[in-house]
Amino acid sequence: MIPANLIRELLAEDHDFMKAVVFELASAYRRTVKELKNQKLRSGAERLANWLLREERSQGGEGRLTIPYEKRILAAYLGMTAENLSRGFSALSAHGVNIKGLQVDIVDIGKLIDYARPSPLIDDGEPRLPRD
């Protein structure tokens, strides 16, 4: 642990350090609020649909993605049981999603987007620390 008095001194003396700390605190708070909104305002299938859209983009945007970990871990991350995750994938088949093992094909991304209804208040990227 870093002694609190040392951090207080650095905050008072180093403007760049203070800005970086404030930025990180604000970013962590923003992520927490977004995750709370995601959990409370969406069904499990909607959370899964939005996760698939983000993951598909991060894996190249080709309409295909590989789930990078066990499905039970994905289920826990999305706040659902493994059984509900399976039901979510079944529900998303009507919205252009096919799954086989850990391989997911999004055959109609428009239908998936219409179902997921991504929100900029929940799904936008994190802001970057401004450079002076």
Same domain for 26 and 58, yes or no, is no
Domain CATH number, residue 76: 1.10.10.10
The secondary structure of 25-86 as a DSSP string is HHHHHHHHHHHHHHHHHS-HHHHHHHHHHHHHHHTTSSSEEE-SS-HHHHHHHTTS-HHHHH
More confident residue, 117 or 131: 117
DSSP state of 110: H
Same domain for 60 and 107, yes or no, is yes
Q: Note the pLDDT of residue 73.
A: 96
- Say whether 3 sits in a helix, a strand or coil: coil
Select from 111, 98, 112 the least CA-distant residue to 65.
98
Same domain for 33 and 50, yes or no, is no
Q: For 2-24, what is the mean pLDDT?
A: 95
Q: Tell me if 131 is assigned to some domain.
A: no
Same domain for 98 and 48, yes or no, is yes
- Separation of alpha carbons 132 and 120, rounded Å: 27
Whether this model's pTM surpasses 0.85:
no
Question: What are 49-93's pLDDT values in tens digits?
Answer: 999 999 999 999 889 999 999 999 999 999 999 999 999 999 999
Q: How confident is the model at residue 128 (pLDDT cuts 50, 70, 90)?
A: low
Q: Note the pLDDT of residue 130.
A: 56
Question: What are 96-116's pLDDT values in tens digits?
Answer: 999 999 999 999 999 999 999
Mean residue pLDDT across the chain: 92
Q: Tell me if 86 is assigned to some domain.
A: yes
What is the span of the domain harbouring residue 99? 43-119
Q: Note the pLDDT of residue 125.
A: 65
